[in-house]
Amino acid sequence: MTLPLRERLAAPGPSETLDPQDWDEIRAQGHRMLDDMIDYVATIRGRPVWRPIPDEVRARFRAELPRQACDLDEVYREFADFIAPYATGNVHPGFMGWVHGGGTAVGMLAEMLAAGLNANLGGRDHVPIEVERQIVEWTRAMFGLPVGASGIFVTGTSMANLMAVLVARTAALGQTVRQHGVGGDGALLTAYTSTAAHGCVAKAMDLAGFGTDALRSIGVDRSHRVDVAALRAQIACDREAGLKPFLVVGSAGTVDIGATDDLQALSALCREQKLWFHVDGAYGALGVLSPALAPRLAGLENADSIALDFHKWGQVPYDAGFLIVRDGERHRAAFSAPAAYLRRETRGLAAGSPWPCDLGPDLSRGFRALKTWFTLKTYGTEKLGAMIERTCALAGYLQARILAEPRLELLAPVQLNIVCFRYRAADADSNTLNGEIVSDIQESGISAPSTTMLGGRLAIRAAIVNHRTDVVDIDALVAAVLEFGARRSSGGLTPGEPSPPLTM
Ligand SMILES: *Cc1c(COP(=O)(O)O)cnc(C)c1O
């Protein structure tokens, strides 16, 4: 009875497998893609940082679900013509917006290798998981955390911060919280961070079920570091009111201006008050790789957990967020969950417990560790540290250019690699004017700064994260701000009207 089916399946004819009919053809196509992509990165400086997406290009991505097969070559041409030219621009040395890493050719190649293995790092006994454990161990050593610390790759620091809140929650309320929910006890828990903390900390409190009201935003000093005395007072006040403080989130590199809290003071306070001390080190934590910057991160080694992104200052291609927890037991207590179909063994493919799925919400997970392993091994931490230090030196150079130019005004002290400034104008027009200048520069393709608000003033914000950024890119940004600023303030353009292209 099963024979006819077997015969039918084994019969020669067009195959249903997704493998190519002709491996030589795909090999040639693959080599072309590889060459093109290497050229793309190697010659990136010659192209605009970013360009506005033409309507007809955007419209191409509102197409019907493809039912019929199409030649890879044709699909690839669509990528080359309509996707690659309209990317964010963070590979480009002129990209200084938000906090974006530039990626590397090494990371790109590692991504291809990882895709070929198609490893699932949720669990089971295979070396890709050992590679991830190797990165956990390296990260532990990098930050001076004790043996027994536990870590995991995640999408980004937003996710790592959420997971840290969940680990701290389980540590505070006990593992029964996972069955019963946060309940009445949970309603009393309060967490603390500064007004300069990233918005994902509040979002984490929301997602964890505490609500953002349970997060106290403590004021900062002129350099955007949390006011530790005010924090202490707020904790005492909350205890007085019958609340249960459980978590303090410090920042190592704030998103607005790159400030780092006094991590030593915060860790001492947390130890004394028996609070979980988490550090959002999204981009700043990797400053430990630079001997010049590391002293500013003193106290990081006392953290109960640290969130960071290898995809920012670490230049690993997106995405490569990471959470490390000092006490691995507490990390597992927050996420491990038995399931019959995930049964562990002492031998065979189901060995090697605990698995990464015991350390976070994800079961299926990609091989983010590989591109990070390639990056750390190929460059070494000394070179990465020097590259990080250089981005700060370039920020210092931009600061010097601003201070020497009467038409520009520095809006915040430069502490790491982020510079906030504006083109001087009457206060009433300044925010609109500087917003227009940033849009003009982005649309010009010369550079890509972003904006932030500092004390009600809109700042042009340049975050030097990309390892490719050089002195000429800083000069180009300054020249563009001055040129567009002059055009805009001469009154020749109304707000919202695009500025004609610049020839520089
Ligand atoms: C980028 C950043 C985040 C968010 O990290 P993602 O990787 O984008 O999720 C959080 N905090 C700070 C300080 C950041 O710079």
Domain assignment present for residue 197? The answer is: yes
Same domain, 269 and 197: yes
Domain assignment present for residue 421? The answer is: yes
101 lines ligand 1 (CB under 6 A): no
**What is the CA(158)–ligand 1 centre distance, in A?**
6
**What is the CA(430)–ligand 1 centre distance, in A?**
28
Q: Are the C-beta atoms of 251 and 234 separated by less than 8 Å?
A: no
- Pocket probe for ligand 1: among 154, 198, 278, the residue whose CB has the most ligand atoms within 8 Å is 198
Domain assignment present for residue 16? The answer is: no
**What is the CA(154)–ligand 1 centre distance, in A?**
12
Same domain, 318 and 395: no
255 lines ligand 1 (CB under 6 A): yes
436 lines ligand 1 (CB under 6 A): no
Domain assignment present for residue 72? The answer is: no
Q: What is the mean pLDDT of residues 413-426?
A: 96
Same domain, 333 and 410: no
**What is the CA(412)–ligand 1 centre distance, in A?**
20
**What is the CA(478)–ligand 1 centre distance, in A?**
26
Task: Assign residue 428 the CATH number of its domain.
Answer: 3.90.1150.170
- In this structure, the strands spanning 244-251 and 215-218 are unpaired
Same domain, 362 and 387: no
Same domain, 360 and 480: no
Domain termination site, one of 366, 389, 404: 366
Give the integer Cα–Cα distance in Å for 250 and 231. Answer: 11
Residue 46 has pLDDT above 80, yes or no: yes
Rg, Å, the chain Cα set: 25
Give the integer Cα–Cα distance in Å for 414 and 259. Answer: 9
Domain assignment present for residue 8? The answer is: no
Q: Answer whether 0.85 is exceeded by the pTM.
A: yes
Which residues, including other chains, have CB under 8 Å from residue 63's CB and lie 6 or more apart? none
Same domain, 141 and 253: yes
Provide the 8-state DSSP code for 251. E
- Write down the residue that tokens 């840290």 correspond to: 164
Domain termination site, one of 335, 366, 397: 366
**What is the CA(425)–ligand 1 centre distance, in A?**
32
Q: If pLDDT is split at 50, 70 and 90, which confidence band does 503 have?
A: low
193 lines ligand 1 (CB under 6 A): no
Domain assignment present for residue 112? The answer is: no
Same domain, 344 and 440: no
* Residue-wise pLDDT tens digits, 316-362: 999 999 999 999 999 999 999 988 889 999 999 999 999 999 999 99
Give the integer Cα–Cα distance in Å for 226 and 281. Answer: 15
Overall domain count for the chain: 2
Task: Assign residue 315 the CATH number of its domain.
Answer: 3.40.640.10
* Residue-wise pLDDT tens digits, 373-386: 999 999 999 999 99
**Exposure b/e, 41-78, CB count within 10 A at least 16 = b:** eeebeebbbbbeeeeeeeeeeeeeeeeeeeeeeeeeee
**What is the CA(320)–ligand 1 centre distance, in A?**
11
Token representation of residue 286: 């990797």
Domain assignment present for residue 154? The answer is: yes
Same domain, 201 and 127: yes
Same domain, 155 and 288: yes
Which residues, including other chains, have CB under 8 Å from residue 395's CB and lie 6 or more apart? 258, 414, 416, 417, 418, 419, 462, 464
Domain termination site, one of 319, 340, 366: 366
Q: What is the mean pLDDT of residues 166-185?
A: 95
Residue 19 has pLDDT above 60, yes or no: yes
Which residues, including other chains, have CB under 8 Å from residue 322's CB and lie 6 or more apart? 135, 139, 151, 152, 153, 154, 160, 307, 308, 309, 310
Which residues span the domain enclosing 40? 21-50+88-103+381-504
Same domain, 337 and 387: no
99 lines ligand 1 (CB under 6 A): yes
The sheet carrying 450-454 orders its strands as: 408-410, 418-423, 457-463, 450-454
Same domain, 243 and 392: no
* Residue-wise pLDDT tens digits, 226-238: 999 999 999 999 9
Same domain, 402 and 258: no
Q: Are the C-beta atoms of 138 and 380 separated by less than 8 Å?
A: no
440 lines ligand 1 (CB under 6 A): no
260 lines ligand 1 (CB under 6 A): no
Domain assignment present for residue 110? The answer is: no
280 lines ligand 1 (CB under 6 A): yes
**What is the CA(274)–ligand 1 centre distance, in A?**
26
pLDDT at 498: 80
